[in-house]
Amino acid sequence: MSAIHLYFQVHQPYRLNEFTFFDIGTSVDYFNNTLNESVINKVSEKCYLPTNQLLLDLITQFKGDFKCTFSFSGVFLEQIQKMRPDVLASFQKLVDTGCVEVLSETYYHSLASVYDLVEFGQQVDLHKELVAKLFNYVPSVFRNTELILNEDVLMYCQANKYVGLLAEGSKGLLGDCSPNGVIVPEGYQVEVLARNFELSDEIAYRFSDIKSPLFPLTVEKFADLMLREQQRDCINLYMDYETFGEHHWADTHIFDFLRKLPAFIIANTPFRFKKIEETLGSAPKVQNVKVSGASSWADTEKDLSAWLGNGLQQDASRLIYDLKEPVFASKNGQTIDLWRKLQTSDHFYYMSTKSYTDGEVHNYFSPYRSPYDAYLYYTNILKSLRQTLGVN
């Protein structure tokens, strides 16, 4: 039997206020709490609660034959603890079934693996502690922010004895290899499962696109796509959880698709739904993949350009990590937490100046009028924080 790994990323950032020059040194109200609560409530009703119930129904219906995987950013879990404990309880109920796997990641959904490996490891440890507390679960598989993979991440996962980690199945990573198998990068023992982005994006991005050749996408069409794959050891379908009900509204029939998919797959194909940890260590392996540079699951380039592709982003990221020493010298837990929340990758994503299709996606997620506004508000906040810390 071939495995299907259905993985969902769940994340919401702390969005920032429109922090002006005149707020510097006069306000510490950095986060737009009204907007953040509004988004959490909206997405809870449109996505989290109905999709969680649907998955719970599928788990009950198939008695162990339907399984899936989640990762939750720490900043998302923080917000639902405070604002929507009912949503947290619904996720806990899913994990308690034993059919849902939880992955490890950075607490703050940050780019620390690119800038500061000590900070990166501390954020991963904080995330482990939170997952253990909320779900009584110890993750064995790692998923870095935005599926960023480089040699430092591989070394970290190997040193910390993760059984595997997730990556984007880009040509830059895989070359001519298929994403539908277990990959062991050259020089490492850690196993990597790469996202089949063509199949994943049929659901995540193109499901409601009337210009898509497969529109309307049905479970029959999707199963046929999987059966056409030349290698089929495992099909890795990775997507944002908000795909269901938020990115594609209920009236697109996205919930009907998800509801029907397991029954059709199990009855008509050799594929079976598994947790990722069940496949690692047992599936055939490809061992001639060399990792160089960094890959991610964002945009057409599948690199770091979604967050670090222009001067605004590069300057902002340098400024935040340059504050590490005075932040920790303050010995103030709230200040350290604030500094880490300002590392969340979304802040840099909003500063992207890309055009065409990728630019449209960046604009869809951004709460700001332009990337220049995103940069201005962010750096104004950093200036205010520097004043608080007494940094010139």
- Residues serving a catalytic function are 146
Tell me how far apart the alpha carbons of residues 15 and 32 are, in angstroms, rounded to a whole number.
6
SS3 8: strand
* Phi/psi at 370 (5° precision): -155, 160
Q: For residue 116, what are the contacts with CB-CB under 8 A and spacing of at least 6? A: 321, 324
Q: Containing H/E element for 92? A: helix 85-96
179: preceding bond cis by omega (within 30 degrees): no
Contact 60, 254 (CB under 8 A): no
Length of the chain: 392
Q: For residue 270, what are the contacts with CB-CB under 8 A and spacing of at least 6? A: 1, 2, 232
Measured over the CA atoms of residue 50, residue 131, residue 145 and residue 169, the dihedral's sign is negative
Considering just the CA atoms, what is the radius of gyration of the chain in Å?
Answer: 21
Contact 48, 83 (CB under 8 A): no
Measured over the CA atoms of residue 242, residue 247, residue 249 and residue 254, the dihedral's sign is negative
Region of residue 331 (left: phi > 0; alpha: psi -120 to 50; beta: else): left
Tell me how far apart the alpha carbons of residues 275 and 70 are, in angstroms, rounded to a whole number.
10
Tell me how far apart the alpha carbons of residues 326 and 175 are, in angstroms, rounded to a whole number.
43
Tell me how far apart the alpha carbons of residues 270 and 200 are, in angstroms, rounded to a whole number.
19
* Phi/psi at 53 (5° precision): -65, -40
Helices and strands of the chain, counted as H and E runs = 19, 10
